[in-house]
Amino acid sequence: MGHVMNSPLPIGQRNTADGLIKIDLDERAFVYPQNKALLQLHLQLVRPDTVRFEAVYAFNQNRESPVLFEMSGDDCAEFSRRLVEAVYRAQSTQVVSPSVSLSITVVANGYILQYNDPKGPIELFLGSPSIWRVCSGLSRAVDFLAPIASN
């Protein structure tokens, strides 16, 4: 299950994130074009309004960067809503805004999340068993970045 941590980050990443949500994936999680199996998806939360998606690879001999992509809190909120809707309806959908273009494709064995980056698309293949953990982690990220109501 994903959880938020406010513990110190590794050297070089300190003061870059205000929170971290770790989402455990199953053995059917892969990312392309990196061509790697994934163990976890990390959501680095940077206030006031950024969610950075990072991969924890099962192997990384070529030292590929863990950073997959970033999006604003508002785009992450829409992504979260659309992903939950796609899972409930078993229907593909898209998230399009001035700053993000992302498609969610429902397939027989899970979901393909394609983030359209100017450098080329990034595809996350996620198995059905871990998709609810991803949905929950996205919701927690949105909640973490939301302003706190004052009394």
CATH of the domain at 35: 3.30.2450
Collect the ranges in the chain with pLDDT lower than 70. 1-15, 148-151
* Residue 38, pLDDT score: 97
Q: What is the pTM of this model?
A: 0.85
SS3 readout for 111-135: EEEEEEECCEEEEEEEEHHHHHHHH
* Residue 149, pLDDT score: 60
Is the preceding peptide bond at 33 cis, omega within 30 degrees of 0? yes
* Residue 10, pLDDT score: 43
* Residue 16, pLDDT score: 74
Q: For residue 150, tell me if it sits in a domain.
A: no
The encoded tokens of residue 99 equal 């700053």
Q: For residue 105, tell me if it sits in a domain.
A: yes
* Cα angle: 145, vertex 149, 151; to 5 degrees: 155
Q: For residue 95, tell me if it sits in a domain.
A: yes
Q: For residue 126, tell me if it sits in a domain.
A: yes
State how far the Cα of 151 lies from the Cα of 148, in Å rounded to an integer: 10
Domain count, the chain: 1
Closest CA to 76 of 105, 106, 107, 99: 99
Which one-letter amino acid corresponds to residue 82?
R
Q: For residue 151, tell me if it sits in a domain.
A: no
Q: What are the start-end ranges of the H helices in the chain?
A: 73-89, 128-145
Q: For residue 111, tell me if it sits in a domain.
A: yes
Q: Tokens 């899972």: give the residue.
A: 87
Determine the structural domain holding residue 58 and report its residue range.
Answer: 3-145
Closest CA to 134 of 15, 67, 38: 38
Buried-state track 27-45, b at ≥16 Cβ within 10 A, e below 16: eebbbeebebbbbbbbbbb
Sign for the pseudo-dihedral over CA of 130, 115, 124, 1: negative
* Residue 24, pLDDT score: 97
